[in-house]
Structure 1
Amino acid sequence: MHSIYVDAEFCDDERRQKLYDGDLFVYSPRPSTLALTEFAGEMARQAFAPLDPETAQFEMAVEDYAALLAELKPRFIHHPESKRLIQEMLTDFGCDQEQVYFDVPRMRSSTSNDYLTTGIAFAFHPHRDTWYSAPYVQLNWWLPIFEIGADNGLAFHPKYWQTPVRNSSRVYNYAEWNATSRQIAATQIGVDTRVQPVPEEEVELVPQIRPICKPGGIILFSGAQLHSSVPNTSGRTRFSIDLRTVHLGDALAGRAAPNIDSDCSGTTMGDYLRVSDLEHVPAGVIAEFDTPAIEVA
């Protein structure tokens, strides 16, 4: 039995352990989170102007829409203000500035009615981030930029916290993905040909949990959770932010979520930046987590 904690006031050490044990946390908007989502929302509004970002899909050719996202999303990801706002947010949530590292924030979009579900607006099938070379210590912070509902948010599949899913993560190596697949996302319209880890057996989507929070709220969970994009039938494009954190002390001590079924290689540890000064994880630590690509027949 897992719990969903709403606006719970745990210290970060307690919260991390509960997340590693499979619990979920949901937080209401606060000034530090709203600063980040409002910054992202304004970037989206400017990019789509004079159209509304949530309904622009109904007035744009899909190729033009993908091209716009291909410019907007990296601009948000790499903007210095995005990093500064995350530093403030994580500090506000009690994270140790010297021990906690974060990766750059991703702006995600989920269009309605299957308008664009590949490439730059990929609709995620049921997956664990740990299938994608994430360390088992990774925590995911997910924030809606605009209003969401049960028909365009995020779904968790709690049955699989302790139940393996046969999957193709053995084919995935993070370094190879960065070298061959990430930069072609905007070209994947209609069919996504990039090799990604997928379930190799039917996943029972019910029961599922669909937490809902206001714009600027947070859904916080372990990267080992099996989760997916809810098929968007809302009539509005969902825009959200996700970022990931790791606690260096936990990583080195082996305090983390269990590995149920991941068989990928490589590591994302080189992506994380220290909250205090944006320094990367030490090279020696990255090497401890890195594994070579596996030849798959």
Structure 2
Amino acid sequence: MTTVYSAPRVTDDHRRELLYHGAVCVYPATDASLALTEFARELIAEAFGPLDPQTAQHELPVRRMVEILAALKPRFIHHERSKQLVAAVMKSHGCDENTYFDVPRLRTSTSDGYLTTGIAYAFHAHRDTWYSAPFCQINWWLPIFPVTERNAMCFHPRYVDRPVRNSSDRYDYDEWNRTSRFEAASHIGTDTRVQPRIVDEAADLEPTVTVLPEQGGLMMFSGNQLHSSLPNDSGVTRFSIDFRTVHLGDVTAVRGARNLDSACTGTNLRDFLHPSTLAPIPDDVASNYQRAVGAVPPTSEHAVR
């Protein structure tokens, strides 16, 4: 079952436990989250010039849109200001110095199938843990412009604690970094990169739960939560930010959501940064976690092997 909590007044430790068990926490906009989304809006406005970025898809050829996003997204992701603002958002929500973050991603979901591959990949139902995310990963998601039930994302609560047969055994994080991570802009029309997905023809993804934070608000959920992009038929491009966090205590204790069906290899833990120093998680911590998790198989045989 997926329970949605509205701004729960709990400690970060308690909140992480709720999230590991399938909860979703949604929060109204704060000064810190608005600062992050406003910075993104500034960069987006610069990139699109006189065009309204939400409707620019109706005026630009697809390849021109790809060119704009291919320059805009890395600029936001790697900007020092982006990292500072993410750290401020984390602090405003009670995270301590043991909470590490991955750089924030600027996401786009275009309307009516205009661009759904590569740089604007439309995510099918998946768990981030199929992509070598640690089971203690928490996802943070913020809309930059208002979202609706026609262009946001959704959860599939039937599989909060139920495995589903998938192709995660084909995914290795080191191989992804070597061959696919920086190729997004070259995939127009089709996307041939390895993307773990459900392969169970009997899988039933209904009902779904859609959460709509206000502009600048945010929601948190476990990286082990099954989620997907809604088919966007709203007529506008959705712009959002997401970033991920892990708590060092949970990493070292190998604490987090239960591995239901993930069989991928590698770990993205080395991508996570300290909120103040920006130093990455120590390599020995990541290696120890990877060995410990590798010794614990999924709780079912639903991951394809």
The reply to whether TM is greater than 0.5 is: yes
Match of 1:37 in 2: 37
Name stretches of at least 5 consecutive residues in structure 2 with no aligned partner.
Answer: 295-303
Aligned partners of 1:169 and 1:263 also within 8 Å: yes
Match of 1:119 in 2: 118
Q: Deviations over 1:209-246 (max 9, x none)?
A: 00011111111000000000000000000000000000
Alignment of 1:3-14 (within 5 A): 3-14=3-14
Match of 2:23 in 1: 23
CA shift for structure 1 position 149: 0.3
* 1:218 and 2:218 correspond: yes
Q: What is the DSSP-based 3-state SS (H/G/I as helix, E as strand, rest coil) of the residue aligned with 1:108?
A: strand
Aligned partners of 2:155 and 2:210 also within 8 Å: yes
Match of 1:105 in 2: 104
Q: Please identify, of 283-292 and 176-185, the stretch whose mean Cα deviation from structure 2 is larger.
A: 283-292
Q: Deviations over 1:153-178 (max 9, x none)?
A: 01000000111111111010111101
Match of 2:241 in 1: 241
CA shift for structure 1 position 124: 0.1
Q: Deviations over 1:121-177 (max 9, x none)?
A: 000000000000000000000000001000000100000011111111101011110
Equivalent-residue separation in structure 2 for 1:120 and 1:42 (angstroms): 20
Equivalent-residue separation in structure 2 for 1:2 and 1:157 (angstroms): 8
Equivalent-residue separation in structure 2 for 1:183 and 1:13 (angstroms): 35
- The one-letter code sitting in structure 2 at the alignment partner of 1:72 is L
Aligned partners of 2:167 and 2:197 also within 8 Å: yes
Equivalent-residue separation in structure 2 for 1:148 and 1:205 (angstroms): 22
Equivalent-residue separation in structure 2 for 1:90 and 1:81 (angstroms): 14
Aligned CA RMSD, in angstroms, stands at: 1.3
Q: Deviations over 1:243-264 (max 9, x none)?
A: 0000010111122001100000
Aligned partners of 1:165 and 1:199 also within 8 Å: yes
* 1:46 and 2:38 correspond: no
TM normalised by structure 2 equals 0.94
Match of 1:193 in 2: 192
Match of 2:147 in 1: 148
Q: What is the DSSP-based 3-state SS (H/G/I as helix, E as strand, rest coil) of the residue aligned with 2:251?
A: helix
CA shift for structure 1 position 42: 1.2
Match of 1:80 in 2: 80
Q: What is the DSSP-based 3-state SS (H/G/I as helix, E as strand, rest coil) of the residue aligned with 1:84?
A: helix
- The one-letter code sitting in structure 2 at the alignment partner of 1:34 is L
* 1:93 and 2:69 correspond: no
Equivalent-residue separation in structure 2 for 1:240 and 1:163 (angstroms): 28
- The one-letter code sitting in structure 2 at the alignment partner of 1:23 is A
Aligned partners of 1:266 and 1:289 also within 8 Å: no
- The one-letter code sitting in structure 1 at the alignment partner of 2:152 is G
Match of 2:297 in 1: none
Equivalent-residue separation in structure 2 for 1:205 and 1:166 (angstroms): 13
Match of 1:131 in 2: 130
CA shift for structure 1 position 276: 2.6
Name stretches of at least 5 consecutive residues in structure 1 with no aligned partner.
Answer: none
Q: Percent identity?
A: 54
Equivalent-residue separation in structure 1 for 2:141 and 2:166 (angstroms): 24
Match of 2:260 in 1: 260
Match of 2:160 in 1: 161
Equivalent-residue separation in structure 1 for 2:9 and 2:281 (angstroms): 28
Match of 1:55 in 2: 55
- The one-letter code sitting in structure 2 at the alignment partner of 1:165 is V
Q: What is the DSSP-based 3-state SS (H/G/I as helix, E as strand, rest coil) of the residue aligned with 1:112?
A: coil
Aligned partners of 2:129 and 2:223 also within 8 Å: yes
CA shift for structure 1 position 9: 1.3
Equivalent-residue separation in structure 2 for 1:132 and 1:2 (angstroms): 22
Equivalent-residue separation in structure 2 for 1:84 and 1:2 (angstroms): 32
Q: Deviations over 1:36-68 (max 9, x none)?
A: 011001111110011011000011110111111
Aligned partners of 1:143 and 1:240 also within 8 Å: yes
TM normalised by structure 1 equals 0.96
